[in-house]
Structure 1
């Protein structure tokens, strides 16, 4: 019996460390935070299936043979039941604001582009470890570091829709 109780306590500590919960005062993982972390990971795993799929500006919604940044985020989030608008600018107004230092896996991250000026012109999904999953240019869908000089200097905002 003591071993079973000890095992359960250790399991809670392990799960909490994995999903980043710092307080164990209640002795359990809050369901909302666990569900968000789980859904965020699911979004990244789904998006990972499309690595290398070509980039095409203005790609149609609902197809997976080519994406632009916002059709990619829209497509992947739809797979987990979240409906997003078609453009990165419109997506940047959904959900709740998230400070860069508080990003969680599955958050939407937005950047400016040469054609958008200082406004949102590109969407990506935060993948953890200072990386985003997105599509642009010749490489198509890929992971990129937020420390990359271009993306770091063009960061605009982030939103949580999960």
Structure 2
């Protein structure tokens, strides 16, 4: 018969099933752990698979403690065995992972909380195992575009109420630390096609009047400043792309180019696209809402900003693109443009009345936060 605790976990199990059917952003991790709830507090090594949909995720993990009977080099080869094991299925809540600005303010760290069911046991002269439920908290941090680190603490308890624990078993903590590798961080192909078609069609509709004739972007009050910014950006057409680059001599990455262009107009922006995504004022990420000189931010791996471009008006962007071999214009109605429209997630206005705020905030942010450099973009070749 199921206990009250088991019944209370049924909604979590149902949520796990729902999340598994809507996987969008995945990672696989390798971890080491110490389980104080098992006899002798063994150290384990294991694997974890996590799939997120927005801030909610499903994580499946398992670990083993390997024993060795004998030594290498002896006449009889050593015998390896399993001394202890753990297995868990968790529902994870990571509220900051879909809000890049909050993660950025925590120096790139994203906290999470989780609850799950599983089991653990020991093997030896007598094999003993029990079913458990657990809860805990952890933190992750991205190091590169797909590589990250994580750490967590989990409190384990027997799944059945009033269970008498086997000798040596405890209600105690388990601690983990490991690395993660992200993969498959894109919507399904059907979702990409439908989103792409809808957004490209909206872009085309937004840039035409009722007669079907293309119309120009409305001129903002600071159009002269915007025009000068685009003229400056135009000066660097053909400058080669360079990862981490900030110089017209050696090359630009996407944010290095934007930062350099605006610096020539006495506007100091933060160093990376993720940092820039908090500068200025927010604009609806739709082409019809943009003004010349606005910044457009793209997420190629789900929800994390990793590319920035300047809106040049007339349905075009200018940026330093690895797939485009350097600084270039891209038409948002083209095949390449469709890629960027599909991955557009934010826009910011940094020209005009917000100038002083951008300069002050950008300067302070650049001093206090260190974030990853922007990765190369993966747009189709021109």
TM-score normalised by length of structure 1: 0.74
What is the CA deviation profile of residues 98-157 of structure 1, one whole-angstrom value per residue up to 9, with x for unaligned ones? 12221000001111124xx32110010000011110011242000012232211110111
Match of 2:275 in 1: 90
Match of 2:342 in 1: 153
SS of corresponding position for 1:127: strand
Paired positions, count: 129
Match of 1:110 in 2: 297
Q: Matched residues in 1 for 2:235 and 2:282: separation?
A: 27
Q: Matched residues in 2 for 1:129 and 1:20: separation?
A: 10
Gaps of 5+ in 1: 1-17, 22-32
1:20 Cα deviation (Å)? 3.2
What is the CA deviation profile of residues 4-62 of structure 1, one whole-angstrom value per residue up to 9, with x for unaligned ones? xxxxxxxxxxxxxx9836xxxxxxxxxxx53x211111111000010010001111x3x
Match of 1:48 in 2: 234
Q: Matched residues in 2 for 1:73 and 1:158: separation?
A: 14
* Bigger Rg, structure 1 or 2: 2
Contact 2:217 2:291 in 1 (8 A): no
Contact 2:218 2:291 in 1 (8 A): no
1:125 aligns with 2:314: no
Contact 1:134 1:143 in 2 (8 A): yes
Q: Matched residues in 1 for 2:272 and 2:217: separation?
A: 30
Which structure has more helix as a fraction of its residues?
Answer: 1
Which structure has more strand as a fraction of its residues?
Answer: 2
Contact 1:104 1:126 in 2 (8 A): yes
Contact 1:19 1:37 in 2 (8 A): no
Q: Matched residues in 2 for 1:19 and 1:127: separation?
A: 10
1:64 aligns with 2:64: no
RMSD of aligned residue pairs (Cα, Å): 1.7
Q: Matched residues in 2 for 1:123 and 1:83: separation?
A: 16
Match of 1:25 in 2: none
Pick from 65, 72, 75: which aligns with 2:260? Answer: 75
Q: Which runs of 4+ in 1 moved over 4 A?
A: none
Q: Matched residues in 1 for 2:252 and 2:296: separation?
A: 17
TM-score normalised by length of structure 2: 0.32
Which structure is richer in relative contact order (CA contacts within 8 A, separation 6 or more)? 1
Match of 2:189 in 1: none
Q: Matched residues in 2 for 1:151 and 1:141: separation?
A: 15
